Chains A and B, each alone.
Chain A
Amino acid sequence: GQNIDQPTEMTATEGAIVQINCTYQTSGFNGLFWYQQHAGEAPTFLSYNVLDGLEEKGRFSSFLSRSKGYSYLLLKELQMKDSASYLCAVNRGSTLGRLYFGRGTQLTVWP
């Protein structure tokens, strides 16, 4: 089975740094994705990790530890427009992967 856990809600202020954690237990693993979803819109891709370590992309970074079944998304220099739901998704692998999504973390950025 697949269990993907992330906090339901988080709040932070503009300019701050926030870390959104994701833990997973899955049979088969072939990478972890982070997506951003604004209310009423489609999820959009943020990052992908398949090896342990940190991937940095501008203000956003994502970390993976496969042995611990753990990932986090780090958002720096928060802006109001970063208020959104952040979805952690695990690719199970096999010939073609399928994504199992967590329930998402609703981030609210205050001025």
Chain B
Amino acid sequence: DAGVIQSPRHEVTEMGQEVTLRCKPISGHNSLFWYRQTMMRGLELLIYFNNNVPIDDSGMPEDRFSAKMPNASFSTLKIQPSEPRDSAVYFCASSLGTGTENTEAFFGQGTRLTVV
């Protein structure tokens, strides 16, 4: 398996523009996570899905952020409108977590977002 695939790897956009980040989880994994990493705040969980259903979006910072998972092999994180403070590395991760089992999360290579 190619692992978790994210696109784009780098994105530079102007303030106010819409940004869409994409993620393809590992085939067969039923949990998907979106994280954001900054120097100031470290790695923060934004939202996670189980079987394509959003379970907890309490980490989503504002209404400007939205995430979807239309099927088991694809998810998007959208920021509209983007602001300079959204600049960060956004990671997508997936795991084969069922019930109360704990399995490791595999991370994608991340999207480095710069909003100018």
Give residues in A with beta carbon < 8 Å to B: 30-31, 33, 41-45, 48, 50, 87, 89, 91, 93, 95-104
Q: Do residues B31 and A96 form an inter-chain contact, with CB atoms below 8 A? A: yes
The CA-CA distance from A48 to B5 in the complex, in Å, is: 24
> Which 5 pairs of residues, A with B, have the shortest CB-CB distance?
A42-B107, A45-B104, A101-B43, A103-B42, A31-B102
- Decide yes or no whether B56 CB sits under 8 A from chain A: yes
A102 to B44, CA, bound (A): 9
- Partner of B50 from the list A33, A89, A96 (CB cut-off 8 Å) is A96
Interface of A is mostly: loop
Closest to A97 in B: B102
Listed in ascending order, the chain B residues whose CB lies under 8 Å from chain A are 31, 33, 42-45, 48, 50, 55-56, 91, 97, 99-100, 102, 104-110
Contacting residue for B45 out of A41, A42, A95, A100, CB 8 A: A100
The answer to whether B42 and A30 touch across the interface, beta carbons within 8 angstroms, is no
Q: Is the CB of B42 within 8 A of A96?
A: no
Which residues of B are found within 8 Å of A102, using beta-carbon distances?
A: 42
Q: Looking at the assembled complex, report how far the CB atom of A102 sits from the nearest CB atom of chain B, in whole angstroms.
A: 7
CB-defined contacts of B104 to chain A, threshold 8 Å:
33, 45, 48
A91 surroundings in chain B (CB, below 8 A): 102
How close is A28's CB to chain B, nearest CB, in angstroms? Answer: 12
